[in-house]
A and B are shown apart, each in its own frame.
Chain A
Amino acid sequence: MKRRKLFAAVGINVLAWVLSLILLAPLLLILFNSFKTRKAAADMSLTLPASLEWSNYALVIEKGKLGTTFLNSMLYSVCSVLLCTLLCTMAAYVLSRNRRKLHNFLYLFVVLGIAIPINYIPLIKVMQTLKLMNTRAGIILLYTATQIPFNVFLIHSFVSKISPEIDEAAVIDGASPLSLFFRIVMPLMKPVLVTVMVLTFLNTWSEFVMPLYFLGSTDKWPMTLAVYNFFGMYFKDWNLVCADIVLTSLPVIIIYLLGQKYIVSGMTAGAVKG
């Protein structure tokens, strides 16, 4: 009996490692090869680099114009995060607190956007009419708009767990709706706001379909699309492609490691009811 238990304990640990390695192997492959010489990286083998070629990174930053595209991605992600968080918080707060017929309808109308897909081609007409086609502002507004449904859903369920008695006390003390919201309710929403910010940042950083349709000029491209373009031009220089992939993924991996706790709580909010 004891021996069987020991076998089972060893077994599940070995299994966990095997599975983790299946997930890690392709990622390590990229990391290792990003430090190799062009020749050594030509066969893309999963071996440690003989020497660390940091020059790959310098080269790729210069050739792939990573400076500009990094700033583009940062601009799009940070602006979408700020705008989305502000608008969604205000909307979700009122829709959660005030549940008249109109508000219930509006909530469902917004949340339905989680399911319905974007109709890209007619959206081009809308963007042209608004003079937002091929502009940075346009892409930021698009990223914000497409992430409103899920974020409103997330914040809405969080607000319903904050007692409205706090609001009433504040109103009796003479707080205006705006100061009630910004000074009293918003600080209480910190956990869900961090979740929204982390998820919006990660989604915006990794997205590339919007720029594909709505940003014609390459100088406005985000990092993901630029790395894909780079791959098309330098597909024989695997070491450079790998270095580009590492640099493009680094920001999301850092945000992921820092915000892991918040991602999990956000993802499970709608799925699991305690």
Chain B
Amino acid sequence: MNKNRIYPTYFVFGALLLYTVLFVLPSLTGLGYSFTDWSVYSDEIHFIGLENFATVFSSDYNYTRMLANTIRFTLVTTVVKNAVGLALAVLLTKKVKLLNFHRAVMYLPCVLSALIVGMIFKSVLNPKIGLLNTFLRRIGLGFLASNWLTDSKIAFRSVMAVDIWKGMGYIMTILIAGIMSIPQTYYEAASIDGGNAWQCFRHITLPLLVPTLTVTTVLNVIYGLKVFDMVYSLTNGGPGFATEVMYTGVYKEFGLGRYAVGTTLSTVMTLVMLVAGYFMIKHMVKGDGQEI
């Protein structure tokens, strides 16, 4: 049968057009604008070569710090979310009462807007009335009470912690599905051989979860590199530049009218993520018999 007649290519056009014009095109023109002096202050746009890239990677400005923060955010949240998510997934595949309730609660923060979560934690982390400091004082650990979001030494850690609080349920949910797909007979065989819980985890669960953990890691890395919303709503990059990441930087350049520099920051991220994306797509696409 003629596949082109049964499955006409024009079915693809709508999605392809929107995606190309509103998603791919700005990335391509952005690459071009990165070599110009495009700004709100002038109607003309001039080619200035690699000057923007030199600015972005120069130690005279704070852009390298944004990049470093973004990478730190990505590494820390990826590792901690995977570790905590794995622990939660193992716990919530055991014989726990009200299992579905607990699973639902863990995932709940994922559906809330990061903007909302940010506002909630502005209250929780408030130094005077916040739930966290109140709790610490009440259990006699008052010396640990801090200015979580305004002390430049710990603000970035607080932002990462809130992001982990919001996102760990997502990783947990994927890993639970991974654990459930492991055949029960493996565990039965291990228990006949006298294996304890730790040995079962170490020699059955963990090795068989490696493919799933790879996916959660890649998803987390992509998410981490793109982070904007959580930082914007909690600290907006402050105090000083302590919590500034690449995309809060882009937004600030946009606000200042320095379009070309903002675009250059985006272009740097696009290039970084094309590399990460290639590996992810390769892994994800394998699943449905797609040749690449």
Contacts and interface: CB of A to CB of B under 8 A. Distances in A.
A174 interface: no
Interface in A190-207: 202, 205-207
Given A15-B91, A180-B6, A271-B212, A87 B284 contact: no
A21 to B, nearest CB: 9
Interface residues on A, range: 35 or more
A26 B12 contact: no
Interface in B204-228: 211-212, 215-216, 219, 222, 225-226, 228
A180 B181 CA distance: 34
A156 B14 CA distance: 16
Name the interface size band of chain B: 35 or more
B1 interface: yes
Nearest to A212: B251
The winner among A93, A120, A207, A252 for most chain B CB atoms within 10 A is A120
A221 to B, nearest CB: 12
A121 interface: yes
A121 B250 CA distance: 8
A108 B219 CA distance: 17
B129 A16 contact: no
Contacts of A256: 107-108, 111
Interface string A35-57: 00000001111100000000000
Given A26-B131, A116-B270, A271 B178 contact: yes
B212 A87 contact: no
A167 interface: yes
A20 interface: yes
B111 A97 contact: no
A122 B212 contact: no
Interface in A1-47: 9, 12-13, 15-17, 19-20, 22-27, 29-30, 42-46
Closest 4 CB pairs of A and B: A115-B277, A206-B113, A119-B30, A145-B22
6 contacts: A43-B129, A160-B289, A167-B6, A181-B11, A206-B113, A270-B284
Interface of B: 1, 3-9, 11-12, 14-16, 18-19, 21-27, 29-30, 33, 88, 91-92, 94-98, 101-102, 104-109, 111-116, 119-121, 123-124, 126, 129-131, 134, 165, 169-170, 173-174, 177-178, 181, 211-212, 215-216, 219, 222, 225-226, 228-229, 233, 247, 250-251, 253-254, 259, 262-263, 266-267, 269-270, 273-274, 276-278, 280-281, 284-285, 287-292
Interface of A: 9, 12-13, 15-17, 19-20, 22-27, 29-30, 42-46, 86-88, 90-91, 93-100, 102-104, 106-123, 125-126, 130, 141-142, 144-146, 148-149, 152-153, 156-157, 160-161, 167-168, 171, 177, 180-181, 202, 205-209, 212-213, 224-225, 227-228, 231, 238, 241, 245, 248-249, 252-253, 255-257, 260, 263-264, 267-268, 270-274
Given A209-B228, A245-B116, 4 more contacts: A104-B290, A114-B280, A145-B21, A257-B104
